[in-house]
Structure 1
């Protein structure tokens, strides 16, 4: 009997401990207000952290876009600067060409004016020369005619007069006339710069023409005077 009583007393405290543990577990299953507050704060912090992470990721993407845009703008700016430099060089080259063309046009205008002036001078000189030659040819023709008549008259008057005889005298007179004509013609060609041959410069050619003309005139005068 005694043993049964002791067993009952031993089981009673054990049951009491079991009930206490059940009550503690029940209390643990229902958190306190402070724990709930901490849990809520933890959730808010977690949500805030997630929001900040999202915002950071969004800012990173935005920064990448801005960096890419900045690089694109820098590239375009470099291209525009290079293009502007090329256009400046092209404009400078065109300005230089335009200046050269203006100078060339001015030179050609001046050259054309000089050529026109020279052409006018040559026309005037040619007209003067033609007038002079016309007068000289008329004088030569008159002189030749007179010489021929005088030679014929003297030939008729005295057939033996003259060192070379009548025929020789006539030939000498004709040679003198030919020399006069040749001297005048060569002088005209020398003055115009179109002489068939030249003994030097224009002055030398004119001197030669004068000498030939003087020799021819001397022969004519000698024939007329009866010295030849």
Structure 2
């Protein structure tokens, strides 16, 4: 039987970030629909060092996952034997999961991506429960996805070619999304102003989250 459920968000007293940081000495698996920022690469490094094993899988829907994030994750996984970095390169058919598993039976699941916004929980919510049956079912689903062509770990021979192709596609999709955001900003019926925002205002808005460029603060490959 599952235990009582804990809720993590920016208003519950514990964020998803804090819940992950509190996991030590276990096998940890994290799934996210996309990844963009150096901060999450640093977090993966810390989690891999404090646990027996960390498996991270990220999707690429609409090209939202930064190619630089993927490259930094690949390099980190090759440096740390306790980290398995997996990318679902299928883009439109890519996974859109948001969960974490901590052995032997903890499941954290909800709406938060492995991004600063998702980890802080300002607009998202994650629930934690101890349910070994659900834990095993999600593990089985991940194993199924892992066998699909187009889903590769950093150590796989096919990873480099898939990564190169994805970078080209993601850059094209980014240009398309930029044009779509500009059109939506003019058509939004809830907008308080018909004027386009400044660059600073736009980068601080939710609209920027649809572009892979918004999270780049510095070169991702620090180590």
TM-score w.r.t. length of structure 1: 0.19
Which protein is richer in strand relative to its size? 2
> Which has the higher relative contact order, 1 or 2, with Cα contacts under 8 A spaced 6 or more apart?
2
TM normalised by structure 2 equals 0.20
Give the structure with the higher percent helix. Answer: 1
